[in-house]
């Protein structure tokens, strides 16, 4: 993140002290829900980012609720691959704010715009880390609901020193997350925090939303997030949005009805097997998708040559394989997969011999049957000679002409 000049339509927070301990520094950027500012802890000097709700949303109960959900969801998700939240409150002027980890780096979206398609190896690395955070979120009862390249952040940090890539992946922007079984208790029971979404509303970025979300407002769950992660992976490897459209109706049609995009037709350089991986990741029927982010990531590793080969099923009758070198750890993991077994050389030889013998027996039987029929026909003619031959008419003019 780099400092920017504060837009004229944004309230000036620079110099303000929030929560009694955080000093607001310069403006960083803005989104649909809020504005983000650099800040520092007054005593410790720790660098932080402070997000304020936009002025037009201050009096909107739903917007304030979503802002609170973002703080609670991120704070509840304890993972190095999710942005950390340190504090939440409301200023004296009535602006809700979130104090969170200060991230330096760029989003996956910015990387794609800057460099074009990401290499298969780097894409597998990014999705693997995002999957860790996503599985942790799902285990904690949190569904992100707006996963897209903009919200997959590649943060440069000292923790990444020595890694193959100079960043750690973090999921950000839980502003429209759904939280289930929120562990805030009353005298009776846990208080559910489903968020303010009204039934039938489309909440999120449509280009990266699953069919069930777009057609019915969808009950969000693990598989809706996995669809979004699959669509984000398509974008990473092709530098194109998988379901493009200028209006919502166009996008819904492409997501729900038109033939699914084929990554290799967009970028012929995608690894073999990625077409099948994407078809499974974004299958329209939820039960045909990968069932966890970890499973999805392992399959992508295999397709991108990071581990042992495994089948990726497009439909029940179509299987594609990615044949790559395997590590001992990957081979151990593959032992748990239910994949088709191939014949050993000995079994193949025996099968070939059996087939050859069967063919020879069949040919011999046919010859014997033919000879028997010919013999019986000859004996019948000897016993019952045919009557005198009836003269046949001469050749037709056309036939004669040809002769």
| Residue position matching structure tokens 């040809």 | 402
- Ligand-binding site membership of 51 (annotated): yes
Both structure tokens of 52:
């304020």
Tokens for 267? 């970028």
Inter-residue contact 221 to 276 (CB < 8 Å): no
Long-range contacts of 294-298 (CB under 8 A, 24+ apart): 294/131, 294/132, 294/135, 296/127, 296/131, 296/226, 296/229, 296/230, 297/124, 297/127, 297/128, 297/131, 298/333
* Under 8 Å between Cβ of 82 and 188: no
Residue 164 Rama label (left phi>0; alpha psi -120 to 50; beta): alpha
The number of C-alpha atoms within 13 Å of 20 and in the hemisphere containing its C-beta is 0
Identified catalytic residue from 87, 135, 146, 301: 146
Determine contact, residues 175/142, Cβ cutoff 8 Å: no
Q: From 303, 351, 354, select the one nearest 330 (Cα to Cα).
A: 303
Which of the 8 DSSP states describes residue 343?
A: P
Question: Measured on CA atoms in the order 357, 358, 363, 364, is the torsion positive or negative?
Answer: positive
Whether 146 is a known active-site residue: answer: yes
Annotated binding site for ATP: 51
The catalytic residue positions are 146
For the annotated binding site, the residues are: 51
């Amino acid at each position: 993140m780099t400092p920017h000049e504060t837009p004229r339509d944004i309230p000036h927070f620079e110099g303000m002290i929030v929560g009694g301990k955080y000093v607001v520094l310069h403006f960083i950027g803005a989104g649909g829900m809020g504005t983000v500012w650099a800040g520092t802890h007054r005593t410790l000097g720790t660098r932080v980012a402070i997000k304020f709700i936009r002025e037009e949303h201050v009096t909107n109960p739903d917007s304030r609720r979503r802002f609170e959900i973002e703080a609670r969801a991120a704070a509840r998700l304890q993972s190095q691959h999710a942005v950390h939240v340190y504090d939440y409150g409301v200023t004296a002027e009535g602006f809700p704010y979130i104090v969170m980890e200060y991230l330096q780096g760029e989003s996956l979206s910015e990387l794609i715009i800057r460099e074009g398609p990401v290499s298969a190896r780097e894409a597998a690395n990014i999705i693997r880390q995002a999957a860790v955070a996503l599985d942790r979120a799902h285990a904690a009862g949190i569904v992100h609901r707006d996963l897209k390249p903009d919200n997959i952040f590649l943060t440069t940090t000292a923790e990444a020193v020595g890694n193959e890539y100079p960043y750690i992946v973090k999921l950000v922007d839980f502003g429209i997350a759904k939280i289930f079984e929120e562990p805030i208790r009353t005298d009776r029971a846990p208080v559910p925090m489903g968020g303010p979404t009204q039934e039938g509303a489309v909440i999120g970025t449509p280009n990266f939303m699953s069919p069930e979300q777009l057609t019915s407002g969808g009950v969000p769950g693990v598989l809706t997030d996995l669809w979004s992660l699959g669509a984000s992976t398509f974008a990473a490897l092709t530098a194109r949005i998988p379901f493009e459209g200028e209006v919502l109706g166009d996008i819904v049609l492409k997501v729900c009805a038109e033939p699914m995009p084929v990554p290799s037709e967009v970028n012929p350089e995608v690894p073999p097997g990625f077409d099948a991986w994407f078809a499974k990741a974004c299958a329209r029927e939820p039960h045909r998708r990968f069932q966890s982010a970890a499973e999805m990531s392992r399959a992508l590793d295999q397709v991108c040559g990071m581990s042992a080969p495994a089948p990726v099923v497009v439909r029940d009758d179509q299987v594609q394989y990615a044949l790559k070198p395997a590590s001992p750890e990957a081979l151990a993991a593959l032992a748990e997969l239910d994949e088709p077994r191939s014949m050993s050389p000995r079994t193949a030889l025996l099968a070939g011999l059996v087939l050859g013998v069967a063919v020879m027996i069949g040919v011999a039987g046919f010859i014997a049957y033919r000879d028997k029929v010919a013999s019986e026909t000859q004996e019948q003619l000897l016993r019952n000679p045919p009557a005198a031959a009836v003269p046949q008419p001469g050749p037709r003019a056309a036939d004669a002409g040809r002769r």
